[in-house]
Amino acid sequence: MTKRKTARRVFIWALLLGLFFAGCETANGKNPGGVPDAENEFAAEAMTSRDSLSYFTEEGLAVGWNLGNALDAYSNGVSSETVWGNPRITQEIFNGVRAAGYTIARIPVTWMGHIGGEPDYHIDEDFLRRVAEVVGYAHDAGLKVIINIHHDGSVEKNGDVTRDNGWLSLNTARRSEEGMRQVTAQFERVWTQIAKYFKNYGDYLMFEAFNELHDGNWGWGDEAVQRPQYDILNKWTQVFVDAVRGVGGNNRSRFLIIPGYCAVPKHTTAPYFVLPNDNGNEANKLVVAVHYYDPYEFCIAGTRHDWGSAADKSAVNAVFKSLSDRFIAGKLTPVIIGESGVVRHEGYEQTRLEYFSYVYGKARDFGLVPMYWDNGAFSSGEKFGLFDRRTGKPHSPESQTVIETMVRACGGAD
C-alpha cells in the first residue's frame, strides 16, 4: 500500500468518525449550529398512564384560569413580562386562583425577542428559567398547568393592510416553499427546546401548540381561500407532536393540546381539522382547544348589554354540542375552551353573571372545560380582570361574585 493511499484512507476514516460524532452531539442535545440547547436539571417526576379524558375527569379539571397579559406581553417584537402594565408574577396570584376553586392554569408565553437566528433559533436560557419558575408557582399552588407559544403568531389587519407581529406566520408559510420551510424549521426548533427544558416535569404540565393562528381575518375569511392554511396548521400540529415526543423523557406521554384554526369552534369541528398522529401512545394523550367569546359585541366589545334570549342560549348549545359530539363522544378526547369571558359592563353586572352561569354550566353539561381569560385590566381597554395580581385576592366584591358564579356553574365549591 502506498503512502498516498494510506493517507487517503486515514482521511476518509477521520471524516466518517467526525460525521458520526457530530450526529451523536446533535441527537444528544445540540442544535444544528452546534450550540447546546438549555436543559433543566429538574428531577424526573411521575407520569400517569391514563388517557387524557380519564385524566381530566378523575383529576377534577372542570374550570380554569388564564394568566393573561403577563409572560405573553410584548413590545417592539420583544416579550416582556410587565410591559402591558401587570406586575411581576409571584406565588400569591396562583395561591389565590387555586383557593377560589380553579383547577388548571393556562400560562400564555410569547417567546419572540428571546430566540436567536437561523438555524439555531436558540432560546435564551434566562427566559426559559423564568417560565419554569412561574410554572413552579402554579404547581406549588396545586394547579395543573398549560404553557404555549402565544403572540409569536400575532397578526393584525387594518383595512387592506395585514401585518405579522410575530415569526409564526401563516402568511409567510403560504406564500412560498422557502417561507414554509423557514417558519416550520423555527417552529420545530422552538418546541424541541421547550420540550428539552421541561422533559422531566410531571403530567401536570401540558403543552399547547400555539394560540389563535390565522391570516388576519380572525377565521372569518372565505373557507375555500383559506383551505391551504388549514392544511398548514395540520402539518404544524404534527410537527409539534413529533418534536415533543422526539425529545423523550416524560414528553413521550405528556398531554399535548391541539387548537383549531384561530381556535374558532366551527373550524375545529370541520372535516378539514385533523388531529395529529400520536402512534407512540396506546392511550390518547391529546386534547383539543377552542376559544369562545360569543357574541363578540357582548363579550369583548361591550357594545351590547343584553344577553340571555332563547336564540342566545340555543347558539351556545349548538356550538358546545358540536364539540362534544366530534371529540368527546367519538374520539374520547377532552376539549378545553382555552379562553372565554365577558368584559365588565358597568350597570349590567347581573347580565354578565347570567352569562357565566349559563355558558359555563352548559360547558360542564357537554363535558367541556372552560377557562377564563383574565388580563389584569380593570379601568381601561378590555376589562377582563378579576384578581389582584399582587395579592391573589379578588379585585372587588363584584369580581368575587363573578368568580364564585363561574366556579359554581362548573360544579366547584359554593
Q: What is the set of active-site residues?
A: 212, 339
Half-sphere exposure of 12 (CA within 13 A, CB side): 6
- How many Å apart are CA 157 and CA 169, to the nearest integer? 13
Q: C-alpha cell of 207?
A: 403543552
Length of the chain as a residue count: 414
- How many Å apart are CA 380 and CA 368, to the nearest integer? 31
* Structure letter (DSSP) for residue 82: T
Which residue has cell 401587570? 86
Q: Are 356 and 363 in contact (CB under 8 A)?
A: no
Q: C-alpha cell of 214?
A: 390565522
Tell whether the torsion through CA atoms of 220, 221, 222 and 224 is positive or negative: negative
| Alpha helix positions (H), 217-304 | 223-247, 265-268, 296
- How many Å apart are CA 274 and CA 234, to the nearest integer? 6
CB burial string 4-13: b at 16+ within 10 A, e below? eeeeeeeeee
Which residue has cell 375555500? 224
Q: Are 368 and 336 in contact (CB under 8 A)?
A: yes
| Alpha helix positions (H), 65-107 | 91-99
Q: C-alpha cell of 364?
A: 360542564
Q: C-alpha cell of 150?
A: 402565544
Q: Are 383 and 334 in contact (CB under 8 A)?
A: no
* Amino acid letter for position 367: G
Dihedral Cα 354, 360, 363, 369, nearest 10 deg: 170
Distance of CA 21 to the CA centre of its chain: 36
Helices (H) and strands (E) counted in the chain, each on its own, are: 13, 12
